[in-house]
Structure 1
Amino acid sequence: MPLPLAADVPDRLTDYDQWVCWREQDRDGKPTKVPVNPATGQYASATDSETWTGFDHARLHASDGHADGVGFVFTADDPFVGVDLDAARDPDAGEPIDWAATIIETLDSYTEISPSGTGYHVLIEGTLPPGRNRRGDVEIYETARFFTVTGRHVPRTPVSIHARSEALTTIYRDHVADDTDHEQSNTSPSAADEQPRSSTLSDADLIDRARSATNGEKFDRLWRGDITGYDSQSEADMALCCLLAFWTGGDTGRMDSLFRQSGLMREKWDEVHYADGSTYGETTLQRASNVTTDHYTPSSKEHEQTETDAAQRPTTTSTTPGSTATIADDRVDRDHEETIARLESRLQELEAENDRLRAERNAERAKRKELEADSPTEIMTGGFVGQLKQYLFGQD
């Protein structure tokens, strides 16, 4: 597939240095598009601007054969929203199927054909309503996500990006919003009290702290989508979800929101994989929350102290060494540091246990391969395998 030229892409997009490359990788038997840093060729992150660049640089990197294409990262600093329509185009007829045609006509903004040739990307200016981001073949994002950009403009659609907030609300309500979304605000206080207490940190602060922790290198690697050291992406998904459970207090809603910003996010996350109708992502989050019993939860003193500091920051009032306020602050800091140290130690123990179990499993696999490699003669005569069966099961 040819790379887009700057003239093929709306000027509004190329004005931003929020471009990455992407390449297709096979993960769990499914092709997945992963973001690539044009400067290094390593994994890029939709939440790390250090891994982005301008359009020209990204295109140059891809044109050298180091990547399959280029993509744009949506952030809170730009006005754009991306609407991804999967399985929406008949590649033979070259036309959208009915439901997709309705969405494209309603949004009436720049629309292009996806890399696969079976979908569409619609780019608009607007604000995404709160709630889920995807249902079925319709996915909508406005931040912490990258979209592939092909420049294959769809005829009879605008060549520029237009503001379409009202149209977006309509599309979201009709195609994405959960039927129970409107009930969320009616949750009783007692039910809310039963939910896990999520960290009061912002997403950016939470990610920074996770990266700075003792196991921060592992978190950063998973966050970027690097599954090195894991036998499958599913194992890597679980590992990242356990870390997120620790930092969010086991809040599966917050964990889901964060995971969707990571480099591990893929289509499988929202696919129904179980008879009860639950998706792969929902089940992974719940399992991670269940097995992660230690959490990082800022104390109420720490939260109150943060608010107090913010309120008093403009003043010139100072505290003298040894004053009651200074002693209280020091005590809060020490308690906070001790809590982090204790929980990080527990995390290290859990990781060590996980490594031990993985080593045992690999050893068992190696033994199995040795058994399978026995010569036909040995197998037929019952040699080693027969002796093993007799030893294990008392069989003659």
Structure 2
Amino acid sequence: MQRSYEFLPDELKRRGLFCTWQAEQRNGRMTKIPYNAVSGQRAKSNDESCFTSFEKAAGAAGYSGIGVGIFHGICAVDLDYCVDENGAVSDKAKEIVKLMHSYTEYSPSGTGLHILFLAENYQYDTDRFYIMNHASGIEVYVAGVTNKFVTVTGNEIRDHYPFESRTEELNVLLERYMTRTKTEPKETARNAINARKPMADRELIIRAERSRNGEAFRKLMSGDWKGDYSSQSEADMALCSMLAFWTGANAWQMDHIFRHSGLMRGKWDSPRAGSTYGADTIQKAIDSCKEVYTPGNTSRGIRSCEARTDGDERTGTVTQEFCPLVLLKPQQNELPPFPVECLPEHLRNYVSAVAEHSQTSPDMAAVIGLGVLAVCLQGKYQVQGNLGYCEPLSLYTVVIASPGERKSSVMKDMTKYLYDYEHDFNESHAEEIRANKQKREDLERQIAGLQKKLENKRNPQMENELHELETQLEQIPEMKPARFFADDCSSEALTSLIASSHGIFSVISTEGGIFDIMAGRYSGKANLDVWLKGHCGDAIRVDRMGREPEYIPHPALSAILSIQPSVLDEIMSNTTMNGRGLIARFLYSTPPSRIGTRVFRTNPIPPEVDAAYKNLIYQLMAQGSSEAVQTVVLSPEALISDYFEEHERFLIGEGQGIADWACKYIGSVLRIAGLLHLANCEKGQLEIPVTVMRNAISIGKYFLAHAMYAYSMMGTDLSIQKARFVWGRLKKKNVRTIKRSDLFQMCRGKFFKKTEEIQPTLDLLAGDGYIRIEEPERSSVGRPADMLVVINPEAMKLERI
């Protein structure tokens, strides 16, 4: 649908804060993802700092559209599926538009309407009114109760309404269309607060899985319904009913969790008479929900982090309990999926086909595929981030997965055309190699014959002839079959392979043995120089006794590896690899497992997809092999300076725990941008557009999250280090309770200089069930009492956290 931003109300343009948005595929459906129009980075819908003026947003190129934030009194009503294919508006939508009589426009899809209006400091009663009424297809956007933005198109409906305050009209709309079928009792003020601030998905799922019906919940979340339900639709309703209880009938959170379950399918978003199948299922589950989970209520035997109501009736005291005890590490199921939609078309299609055929996560094929691009293009191109600053296109990628996850199968499918190209290349040069060998052997025979004759007496004519033959031999370098890749090899052998391959080489391995070789397990001495210099392109000089010296001025080395988690443990704990920065050069990926949900009969890779991928690999491998390194530059719109500044703030905050890796992160994003562009552009187009840079940043954020997970698994994340340090002090003290101030004195020094600095660590330990923090009762006189830290006796039994 055409957009005419000039028709947006002037007051909306002046007052509003705007973002851009891009239609991207998330969890099997197209989703409107907000972006900061200035920096190009992902935006948070409820963070004003991510928004900008109308002029800057409207002027940003490469996006699907713009949106306005719910700030400064701006509100909206979203009416879904109210416009039919002929452009006719439903009667209910007409009533609502007439009631609000404020600026109204068509949604980007043309199937809905957005009503924008003002309602300053509006107090929304979420206990009484829905925010989203799935049954009616109505959603209300009011500051403080929504975390969304509103897309704007400028495609106004025929009735030209002014953009004005509509507080009274909003009251009528809520009473008429958004009143809840039943209002949950307000037991305490604390419960009211909890209702407005629902549990995070991770905490909710953990509690649900540990409840009385936890096994049934786990099976439904994994998509295992056959044998328990007569149809998947019945299973959908069962899971939604459980989610209604656990989320406190929060429709948005129910939908969000369901989309990450194994039951998610295309039917969820299929239209149903002004609504969708998923919306109707959620609404039915909410309508039939007789009781909701409230932190602090364990009447149904559910563990809680809050106060229990089944305390000592004689004294009137309330017993408190701990959060579910979990190991002190991030949850793998919270890691973001690889944004496959950001890959070049032919690679994207092939990755999806391989993932479907192998029944593995697309992450595995996508990360290996990115490594394949590096193998093809390294040493031929570099990307310029700034004047005087360039990054080579080498990558070290490593996929971490347990045995049985089909790592070898996916690696074979993704890299087979690299090996086929090597074979075909050598076949095409076989006759040339044979002729070279024959010519050199003939010269060597003649040289040997003359040398033998000259052993007995000098002969100036023969000496001149010998000299000429030796010169000819030197001018005919030995030709051997090309080697582009190796599996496991020593660092010394790898150096020689790089030297004999014109400075460009790759290691492709499905086992962790290469790390043993790096660490010197067999030689007794670690030799990391070739790996460190091959990644950044620094010159390699090697002098060995009895051998010709080797000099590689600009080495280009890439690695595509897949390992088991136990190997990662060894890597992270290796002081040499860690201290010299080798582990900071790898891009880590821990794909989610599909074991338990895989099917036996799968579709083969479509021939046309396979052929397009093969053609891509052959074209990229053949590029620029004999030419000087070419430089790819950033377009003016694709400059990464704003994102660099954001990342700098990350480095001094959350990024401190992975500082060695994070300091190389922007360089990795630039390398990825270069690879994405060169794999999808015409030859000679050496300017990276903003869309490609945005995709590179999205992929970079994926690797950032997975690196933080990999580091924290091994205890190298700073927040985990702090938590383990504090827990070690508590365990050594062996106390049941301790005041926060006393605990701070025990831990003062390395990590904590002030009392308040220890609080985030205590919150982390409390959230994972190791401790409980009890707030003191407030007193109107005297100094406030210190908070009390209560230690979970079950956690004390753990040998490892």
- TM range, normalised to the smaller chain? 0.5 to 0.7
CA distance in 2, matches of 1:98, 1:30: 29
CA distance in 2, matches of 1:90, 1:153: 17
Instruction: Assess if the C-alpha contact under 8 Å between 1:294 and 1:346 holds in 2.
Output: no
- Work out the CA distance in 2 between the residues paired with 1:198 and 1:101: 35
**Deviation string, structure 1 residues 155-187 (Cα, Å, up to 9, x no partner):** 1231x2122223222222222221213xx4xx3
Alignment RMSD (CA, Å): 5.0
Partner of 1:271: 278
State percent identity of aligned pairs.
22
Q: Tell me, yes or no, if the aligned pair for 2:79 and 2:114 is still in contact at 8 Å.
A: yes
Q: 2:165 aligns to what? A: 163
Structure 1 match to 2:140: 140
Q: Within the alignment, does 1:68 sit opposite 2:70 as a pair?
A: no
Partner of 1:81: 75
C-alpha change, 1:9 and 1:365, in structure 2 (3 Å) is same
Please, which of 110, 121, 132 is the counterpart of residue 103 of structure 2?
Answer: 110
Which amino acid is the alignment partner of residue 108 of structure 1? Answer: H
1:369 Cα deviation from its structure 2 partner: 5.0
CA pair 276-57 structure 1, distance change in 2 beyond 3 A: closer
What is the number of residues matched between the two proteins?
264
Query: In structure 2, how many angstroms separate the alpha carbons of the residues matched to 1:21 and 1:14?
Result: 14
Q: 1:388 matched to which residue of 2?
A: none
2:103 touches 2:160 (CA, 8 Å); kept in 1? yes
TM-score (norm. length: structure 2): 0.28
Matches within 5 A, 1:144-223: 144-158=147-161, 160-181=162-183, 184=184, 187=185, 192=187
Secondary structure in 2 matching 1:90: coil
Cα distance change on mapping 1:104 and 1:276 into 2, 3 Å: closer
Task: Describe the superposition over 1:210-234 as per-residue Cα deviations: whole angstroms up to 9, x where unpaired.
Answer: 9xxxx9xxxxxxxxxxxxxxxxxx9
Task: Judge conservation of contact 1:35–1:43 (CA < 8 Å) in 2.
Answer: yes
String of CA shifts for 1:113-135, please: whole Å, max 9, x gaps. Answer: 11000110011223455332111
Tell me the CA shift for residue 8 of structure 1: 1.1
Change (3 A) 1:150 1:276: closer
Aligned partners of 1:38, 1:109: CA distance in 2, in Å?
Answer: 27
**1: CA distance, partners of 2:57 / 2:334:** 38
2: distance between equivalents of 1:37 and 1:152?
23
The CA distance in 2 between the partners of 1:156 and 1:354, in whole Å, is 46
CA distance, structure 2, for counterparts of residue 37 and residue 347 of structure 1: 36
* Per-residue deviation, 1:101: 0.9
Cα offset, 1:33, TM superposition: 0.8
Return closer, same or farther for 1:99/1:196 CA change in 2, 3 Å cut-off: same
Shift of 1:362: 6.5
1:1-396 to 2 correspondences below 5 Å = 1-5=1-5, 7-16=6-15, 18-61=17-60, 64-65=61-62, 67-75=63-71, 78-92=72-86, 94-126=87-119, 127=122, 128-130=124-126, 131-135=129-133, 136=135, 137-143=137-143, 144-158=147-161, 160-181=162-183, 184=184, 187=185, 192=187, 252-253=247-248, 271-272=278-279, 277-278=284-285, 295=305, 348-349=328-329, 351=331, 363-366=403-406
CA distance in 2, matches of 1:198, 1:363: 47
Q: Is the partner of 1:180 in helix, strand or coil?
A: coil
Give the CA deviation at 1:349.
Answer: 3.4
Distance (whole Å) between structure 1 residues aligned to residue 103 and residue 283 of structure 2: 39
Consecutive unaligned residues of structure 2, counting only runs of 5 or more, are: 203-220, 223-244, 261-267, 270-275, 308-321, 336-360, 362-398, 414-801
Using the alignment, how far apart are the partners of 2:283 and 2:165 within structure 1? 40
CA distance in 2, matches of 1:353, 1:70: 32
Quote the Cα distance in structure 1 between the aligned partners of 2:403 and 2:333: 15
CA distance in 2, matches of 1:275, 1:251: 13
Pair 35,255 (structure 1): closer, same or farther in 2 beyond 3 Å: same
Asked if structure 2 preserves the Cα contact closer than 8 Å seen for 1:196 and 1:251, the reply is: no
Aligned residue type for 1:15: R
Query: 1:69 offset after TM fit, Å?
Result: 0.3
Q: Secondary structure at the match of 1:174?
A: helix
Q: What SS does the corresponding residue of 1:58 show, helix, strand or coil?
A: helix
State the distance in 1 between where 2:324 and 2:10 align: 47
Q: Judge which range, 136-145 or 125-134, deviates more.
A: 125-134
User: What secondary structure, in the 3-state scheme, does the structure 1 residue paired with 2:150 have?
Assistant: strand
Alpha carbons of 1:96 and 1:124: their partners in 2 closer, same or farther (altered >3 Å)?
same
Secondary structure of the residue that 2:331 maps to in structure 1? helix
Distance 1:148 1:274, change over 3 A: closer
- Please give the per-residue CA displacement for 1:54-110, whole angstroms capped at 9, x wherever unaligned: 00101111xx22x100000002xx222200011011242x23111111111111111
Report the residue type matching 2:177 in the other structure: H
- SS of equivalent residue, structure 1 residue 271: helix
Change beyond 3 A, Cα 1:115–1:346: same
2:118 maps to a residue whose letter is E
**1:15-53: CA deviations, max 9, x gaps?**
135100011111222211111111221211122122110
Question: Could you say what secondary structure the match of 2:44 adopts?
Answer: coil
1:22 and 1:33 in contact (8 A); partners too = yes
Structure 2 distance, partners of 1:156, 1:118, is 17
Q: State the Cα deviation string for residues 280-322 of structure 1 (Å, max 9, x = none).
A: xx9xx97x999x9674x79xxxxxxxxxxxxxxxxxxxxxxxx
TM-score by length of 1: 0.53
Give yes or no for contact 1:129–1:169 (8 Å, CA) kept in 2.
no
Partner Cα distance (1:59, 1:170) in 2:
34
The Cα offsets for residues 190-226 of structure 1, whole Å up to 9 and x where unpaired, read as xx26x986878x97xx99xx9xxxx9xxxxxxxxxxx
Letter in structure 2 aligned against 1:28: N
- Structure 1 CA distance for aligned equivalents of residues 191 and 77 of structure 2: 32
Give the residue type in structure 2 aligned to 1:50. S
For the residue of structure 2 that corresponds to 1:40, the secondary structure is coil
Deviation at 1:9, TM superposition (A): 0.9
Shift of 1:363: 4.7
Work out the CA distance in 1 between the residues paired with 2:406 and 2:55.
Answer: 48
- Contact map agreement 2:247 2:253 (CA 8 A) in 1: no
Tell me the distance in 2 between the aligned counterparts of 1:256 and 1:276: 8
Letter in 2 for 1:140: V
Q: Is the 8 A contact 2:141 2:148 kept in 1?
A: yes
The match for 2:489 is none
Unaligned runs of 5+ in 1: 216-233, 236-249, 299-341, 374-396
SS in 1 for 2:58: helix
Question: What SS does the aligned partner of 1:24 have?
Answer: strand
Name the CA shift for 1:293/1:129 in 2 (closer, same or farther; >3 Å): closer
C-alpha separation between the residues in 2 aligned to 1:49 and 1:259? 26
Q: Hey, what does 1:313 align to over in structure 2?
A: none
